[in-house]
Amino acid sequence: MTKKKIGIIAALAVLIIMIFPIKSQIKDGGTVKYDAVFYGVTKEHSIISDLISPTGENGYNIGTRVRILWFEVYNDVEFVPREVNK
């Protein structure tokens, strides 16, 4: 094999490795992240206490975030208040 072919094969191997995501689960209520070099997807389901929520009540952040390179292209995460049975 010539040096040119070896270089092309090595570059393709590096690109393929950069495309496949790494899955990680965060212990905040069920958030799952898929991160690769070129993109990332976060399926968020996190518990929010009344101290940090926008409305001052307990609840969850639920939704999906997508980023391509360093730019967020999709975000539908919303706060859902917890229903309290009285």
Written as tens digits, the pLDDT of the chain (86 aa) is: 798 999 999 999 998 888 899 999 998 888 999 999 889 999 999 887 766 656 677 888 899 999 998 899 999 999 888 776 65
Q: Where are the beta strands (DSSP E) in the chain?
A: 22-26, 31-35, 39-48, 59-68, 71-75, 78-81
Taking the whole predicted model, whether its pTM rises above 0.75 is answered as no
Radius of gyration, CA atoms only, the chain? 20
